[in-house]
Chains A and B, each alone.
Chain A
Amino acid sequence: MAEHDLTVIMLVAVPVLGALFTSLCPAQSRRAARLIGLLSSLTTLGIWVYLRLVLPPRGLLIGIHATWVESLGVSCFLALDAPGLLLAGLVAVVVTAAMAATRRQDEDARRSVLLLLLAEGGMLGVVTAWDLLLFVIFWEVTLVPFFFLMGPGPERRNVSAATRLLVTSVSSSVLLWVGIMVVVVQAGRPFTFDLQVLGQRLAGTGLAGWAWLFVPAFLMRLAVVPLHTWLPVAVAGVPTSAAMLLVGAVVPLGGYGLWHVLHGLSPMHYFELAPWLTWLGVITALAGGMAALVQRDLKRLLAYAFISQSGLILCGLATATAHSAVWPLLLSMGLTASGLFLFSGVICAARGSQRILDMGGLWRSHPFFSGLAFAAVASVAAIPGTLGFVGVVGVLQELSGKVLLAACLAAAGVVMAGMVVLWAYRFVLGGSHIPAVWSHQRWPLRRQVVVLFVLAVLLLASGVMPGLAAAPAAVSARVATLVGQAGAPR
């Protein structure tokens, strides 16, 4: 059952309009730019809450489904299903958090706000696009603001990290694009990019060899070993807001993209691919955990810990009958990463170093702020009562029903990563506080504390009430529908 609701379009349009208004602000009016940014992201969050309440439990909420270029088979198809809605919520929360928590940039507040809003529009476009061409467009559009947030611009921050992200993303875009073209061609004339129609046409036939090219594209974005190398470099040298968005929203979107496109096109072949994805996930989980063990840089350590979680997410996505457990894990990763990169960004800026050995004594100087970060650390370590626990245990439980060895190895990797993060957290909090080595400016800002508090509450609340972070009925309905289509005689 499909229902139409223009609110889905607004979900994408509001950040874009916000970006437009921000660009019209005079360069000097930083306060106005920040206000517009915050209002836009909060409005988007409000729209998401509304959609969360109205989405039909067993259907697709269509925003628009209109022909764009008839002769080329391209349509403008924006819609939300249950997993898409969850991811949209994650994007809205993470962007709002990044918008509210980043330090006031005196020189380029307008630019930062503009780029954050454009990134939000692009990511929400990825989540809502049900036309593959539109999907690729949003996928690429998302990259552009990140590139400017990270690299070039007035601050000349980290050009090499930005360039690495650019090259990685370009490679993934080309692979994605070629794969999609092959799929469209394989589905036959009249050509169409409509995911639903393609899924129906390909039901039972499967995908041609070249079509699988888009799998590495998604794996690259999900930072799966060996395509993960961009992530530690990127997050170690970028501003806090960009790091929050990269690991908190972009990486989970890679996982969502894999499921959304591949599963939508050919569920049966997706199931055949599952063992490979599972073992790749296991390798990633183990490698991420082991790499985290030897890191001395706080942000790189966190990056490897989240790579380990990406591996587990891949395992969860691969176990086709277990979708309900992987979505909380994706959400957990997004919220946790936002919180931890906010925390690490603040303390690294205050200390002027990212080395773990340079930290220490935060419990004495900033007990409340440090204490709030524990919710995120606990979620990474899958401690009961957090969202991370719900996701990790759920996925491992389902994985153990399929391949016990894989579940054990993946668990080892994730636990290792969690322990390393706990160790780093203990190191940062413990020891004596030496005021001279820390910044004399006021830190953390009040709104940074508020954001971390909200993120902690979300992680704990959804850990206690897992229903908040999952939509099992709708997901199961979609899986059942797609499997039914695949199995149905043509």
Chain B
Amino acid sequence: MTCTLVPVFSLLLAGMLLVLVPGRRRWRRPLAAGIMVLTAAWLVSGWLEGTAGLPAAGFCRLLQLLVVLGGLGSLLLGEDDAVAPGREGLLLLAVAGACLVAQAGDLLSVAVALFACQLPLWAMAAASGERGREGALKALVLGMVALALAGAGAAIWLAKAGSIRLVDLQAFLQTGGYDPLGASGLALWLCGMATLLAAVPVHMWAVDFVEALPRGGAIFLIAGVMPAGVGALARVLLVGFGTVATPASGAPGWGEVLQVGGLVGLLLAGAVALGQQKLRRMFANLVAGQVGLVMVVLAAAGFLVASAPQLAERATGAVVFFLVIHVVTWMGLFLALQLVESGSDVCDISHLHGLAGQRPLLALVVGLALVCVAGMPPTAGFWARWLLLQALVDADLVTTAVVVALSLGLQLVMSLGLVTAMFRPGGAALPRKPATAGLLVVAWSVSLAMILVGLLPGRLVDLCLGTVSGLLGG
């Protein structure tokens, strides 16, 4: 068991050292990056060998790998952030927490880990100025409320089932222990998780928080915490509560709730994102919409768990593939912020004007990421959407699938609006920032990944589907 926590502990230890031990920024950054690279290598090697003792090893390891890559990207893209003491250490602590989220195996530890991994980000925001403190306070208060709700839900299930471990809950529910009290416990837990994951309508804290965070922290919140949280939510709902997505007992199931909530979130957040002028607020709303999209697909997977576990696993694999692409794409999108943000200025769309003229290649990467996030073929984002839509169709949610597909129009208009902005005249006064090594590494890796997966998605799709093989007994 200890062996499976090596990544978490190593990142935790390194993070604490970097926070507590004073030192020059010159060596702290490479050190943090080196630790994350080593952790990623360890995860890959463990994954290839097959990790004993860890339930759903492939699924957890892939999520942890995504978290570490998200952390690495945020370190590289946040290179010229305003210096905050111990920022690298805080980031490592956040990465450790997010790795724990991916690995957590019971109701309470998932919520606590999701709360804990955001603590360093709150600290990071609070250290970055007045606006950061305000955003951090808002996020902290809502986070505590969310944790309390999730804790109350977990307590109800502890009282009912005698355990909150997923495997025990699964066994308990198979014997028919789901009733209105259990449903209310699950509802409380879901409310808490939805708040922590910034799902619509409890996502406004995240919009303010993303705006307030230093760039590195904002990237990690979107490309590290969100995938880990969504992965954990998927595992809890499908493994622990898979049989009660549509319970036969008459008590309300979580499937319809997630389906409707996710769909409303997807449309609402997409529409709100379209109306935003500030880039960070736009991005945050877009992520809230993506959380909604994943929730709809999780609902579809839930409908299939009992009747067709193989299809449910395929739907879960589609979510995993989407998360992989999500991380890569958001790195590309944050390149735009890296290129146009300076100091603590809040950038709006007009800051992108003239970017294509100044930095054609990097603008191309950002443009590719924008088309990818809108899910248009032949980008990697398209395959992710296609798999998600297939999952909806498998669950006979054809109308939902059509609505989801049409909602792509909102994102496409937004994405192409941003692409257009990059090619608009202006931006002459924009200071040309030097391309740092970190920026170039991220730019080339991201563009290579998007193009390769866009053209030849088969291997990665199979890999993602393979990670969930056997997770739901398919």
Contacts and interface: CB of A to CB of B under 8 A. Distances in A.
A binds B: yes
Interface string B137-158: 0000000000000000000000
Interface in B211-261: none
A156 interface: yes
Given A140-B376, A166-B416, A178 B405 contact: yes
A173 B376 contact: yes
A174 interface: yes
Interface residues of A, number: 28
Nearest to B398: A185
Contacts, number: 70
A479 interface: no
A137 B377 contact: yes
Contacts of B387: 72
A156 B412 contact: no
A181 interface: yes
Nearest to B408: A174
Given A70-B458, A174-B409, A137 B378 contact: yes
A167 B376 CA distance: 15
Contact of A171 (B398, B409, B424, B458): B409
Nearest to A141: B378
A166 B383 CA distance: 23
A72 B389 CA distance: 12
Interface residues of B, number: 29
Contacts of B398: 182, 185, 210
A167 B358 CA distance: 25
Contact of A178 (B406, B413, B420): B406
A122 to B, nearest CB: 12
A223 to B, nearest CB: 20
A105 B412 CA distance: 33
A72 B406 contact: no
B406 A174 contact: yes
Interface in A61-81: 69-72
Contact of A177 (B390, B405, B420, B456): B405
A170 B398 CA distance: 23
B364 to A, nearest CB: 12
A152 interface: yes
Contacts of B456: 69
B172 interface: no
Interface string A127-142: 0000001001100100
B410 to A, nearest CB: 9
A163 interface: yes
A340 B383 CA distance: 42
Contacts of A178: 402, 405-406, 408
Interface in B379-412: 383, 386-387, 389-390, 393, 398, 401-402, 405-406, 408-409, 412
12 contacts: A69-B456, A72-B383, A72-B457, A72-B461, A140-B377, A148-B423, A163-B420, A177-B405, A178-B406, A182-B398, A182-B402, A210-B402
Interface of A: 69-72, 133, 136-137, 140, 148, 151-153, 156, 159, 163, 166-167, 170-171, 173-174, 177-178, 181-182, 185, 191, 210
Interface of B: 356, 376-378, 383, 386-387, 389-390, 393, 398, 401-402, 405-406, 408-409, 412-413, 416, 420, 423-425, 456-458, 461-462
Across chains A and B, which 4 residue pairs bring their CB atoms closest together, nearest first?
A152-B423, A174-B409, A178-B405, A185-B393
